[in-house]
Chain A
Amino acid sequence: MELNSDEQRRMQRYLLGELSAPEKEELEQQYFQDPDCLERLQVVEDDLIDSYLTGELVQDQRLRFEEQYLGNPARRKKVDFARALLVPRPARLRTWMPYGLAAAVLLAALGVLLIRLAPDRRPQPARPARPSVVASFSLTPLLARDTGSGFELSIPPGATDVRLLLSVDSSRTYSSYRAALHTVEGSEIRRWEPPEAQSLDAGSSVALQLPAALLPAGDYILTLEGLGPGGAFEKLPSYTFRVLRSD
C-alpha cells in the first residue's frame, strides 16, 4: 500500500466533506474502479477517527468531523467502536476497577472532609461566601496501560471545584503548559493557558482546576501541550475520563 501525504490529505478532506464537486467526483471514480484505493480511503478514515478521539485534530477539523460523523448514526458507530478499541479494559483491570473506583471515591470524600474541617484563618468577608470544596483526582494519559485508575471520576455531592492532577513524562522539560477540556462530542468546556496550568513535583505532574458545575456526568477528553525549548507548544498525550455524579 502506497499512501502519500497528498493523497492522504485529499482523502481526509473528502471524508470531512471539504472537496469541491469535481475533486469529489474524481476520487469517487477512483475508488469505485480500484479496490486498493478504497482500502486506502478506509485506512485514512481509521486515522481520522483515531485522531479525533485522541484530541489530535485541529479545531477546524474537529468541528468538521463532528458535523460529518457524530450526527450520522452509521459513522457514529465507527467512532464508538474506535473508542472501545483505543481504550482497552483488560480482565485484570476490570477485576480491580471496583476497588480503584471505591478508593477514588474515598479519597475524594476525604479531601472534601479535610477541606471542610480545616480552620479558615482568612479574614471573614462581611457576607459569608460558600466555602470552596475541592475534589482532587489524578489522571494518567490516555492509553497508559499500567494502572486501573483514572478512567472514572466520581464527583461527590457538594464539591464546588474539581482539581485534576495530570501525570506527565518528567523526562521532557517544558517551561509551561496549556490545556483544553472537551466533551467527547467536541464541545469545549474550558481552556487553561500559562500560568493557570501549574507544573508540580518537578515537572512530573500538572494541576488544573475548574468549577465542578462544568462537569456534568459524561465522557471528556483533556488535551495538554507543553512549551518546549524551541518556544513552540508540543502536543502531549491526551487524557480521557468519565465523570460520574451521584447528586
Chain B
Amino acid sequence: MATTTPGVTEIERSYLPLRAALVRFFECGGCPVPEDLADESICRVLKNVSEGLEVRGLAAYARAVAKNVLMEYRRESGRGRPMLGDPLARPASGAADEKLARRLEHAKRSLSAPERYLIERYYHAGAGAAKIHSHKKLATRLGIPAQTLKLRAHRIRKKLFGLMNRYNETDSSFLH
C-alpha cells in the first residue's frame, strides 16, 4: 500500500505556509506568544517525523500537535481560558506612535514605486462609502478586479509588517 507519510523534506518545503497557519491558530486561541508556540509545534512535528513516526497528512498532524501545545501552554499558565495580555494595557504613547510612523515611512522605501502607489492610495481612502468608492476607482485605474486589488494591498501590507518586525528585532536605533 502506498504511504503518504511526509518526510522531513516535505516539512521543510511546507514550512512557511504551515508556520503561518500555526501562528494564526495560536493567535485565535488568545495566545500572547503565537510565534513561539508555532515554532515549538513545528519542532515537535519535525522531531517525531525524523524519529520515524508515520504521519498521514502533515497539516492535520501539525494542527493536532498545535492543539496539544496550546493545551499545555494554558495549563502551565494556570488558566482554562484563552490567555490575553494586560487588558488594561495602554495604547502606544505619542512618542511610540511617532517612532512607528517613522519606521513605516522607512519600510515603505523598500517598496517598488507601483507597490507604494497602490498601498498609499488603498489605505488612504477614508471610511465607509468613501472608501468603497475610492477602492473601486483605484481598481479601475489599475485595470484589476476589486478582489485582486484587496489581495495585492494585503500582500504589500504583510511585507511592510514583516519589515517593521525586523526593525523591532534589531532595535533600529538609526530610526529613533
Measured CB to CB, the residues of A under 8 A from B are: 1-3, 14-15, 17, 28-29, 31-33, 35, 38-39, 41-43, 46, 50, 54-56, 68, 70-78, 80-81, 83-89, 91, 141-145, 184-185, 218-219, 234-238, 242, 244
Residues of B within 8 A of A33 (CB): 59-60
Assess the B150–A43 pair: CB atoms within 8 A.
Answer: yes
In the complex, the chain B residue whose C-beta lies closest to that of A87 is B101
Complex Cα distance, B92 from A25, in Å, reads 34
Assess the A43–B20 pair: CB atoms within 8 A.
Answer: no
Taking A43-B150, A80-B92 as known contacts, 14 extra A-B pairs with beta carbons closer than 8 A to each other, sorted by chain A number, are A56-B128, A70-B89, A70-B91, A71-B85, A71-B86, A72-B30, A81-B104, A84-B97, A85-B160, A88-B123, A141-B126, A143-B127, A219-B91, A237-B128
Assess the B91–A185 pair: CB atoms within 8 A.
Answer: yes
Assess the A29–B84 pair: CB atoms within 8 A.
Answer: no
In the complex, the chain A residue whose C-beta lies closest to that of B16 is A35
Given A141-B126, A237-B127; A3-B147 close (CB under 8 Å):
yes
In the complex, the chain B residue whose C-beta lies closest to that of A37 is B21
Residues of A within 8 A of B25 (CB): 28, 32
Assess the A32–B120 pair: CB atoms within 8 A.
Answer: no
Residues of A within 8 A of B130 (CB): 237
Q: How far is the CB of A106 from chain B (nearest CB, A)?
A: 20
Is B74 positioned at the interface, with any CB of A under 8 Å from its CB?
no
Question: What are 13 A-B contacts defined by CB distance under 8 Å?
Answer: A32-B63, A35-B17, A42-B158, A54-B128, A72-B27, A72-B31, A72-B84, A72-B85, A81-B160, A83-B97, A219-B91, A236-B128, A242-B94
Is B46 positioned at the interface, with any CB of A under 8 Å from its CB?
no
Complex Cα distance, B103 from A88, in Å, reads 12
Is B151 positioned at the interface, with any CB of A under 8 Å from its CB?
yes
* Contact mask for chain B residues 27-44; partner A; CB cutoff 8 A; 1 contact, 0 none: 110111111000000000
A-B contact count (CB 8 A): 144
Assess the B124–A143 pair: CB atoms within 8 A.
Answer: yes
Measured CB to CB, the residues of B under 8 A from A are: 17-18, 20-21, 24-25, 27-28, 30-35, 59-60, 62-63, 82, 84-87, 89, 91-92, 94, 96-97, 100-101, 103-105, 119-120, 123-131, 147-148, 150-151, 153-154, 157-158, 160-161, 164-165
B25, B62, B151 — most chain A CB neighbours (10 Å) = B151
Complex Cα distance, B100 from A244, in Å, reads 19
Assess the A1–B87 pair: CB atoms within 8 A.
Answer: no
Complex Cα distance, B123 from A143, in Å, reads 9
B25, B91, B101 — most chain A CB neighbours (10 Å) = B91
Residues of A within 8 A of B31 (CB): 72, 74
Assess the A89–B63 pair: CB atoms within 8 A.
Answer: no
Residues of B within 8 A of A89 (CB): 101, 105
Q: How far is the CB of B123 from chain A (nearest CB, A)?
A: 5
Complex Cα distance, B129 from A234, in Å, reads 9
Complex Cα distance, B17 from A74, in Å, reads 19
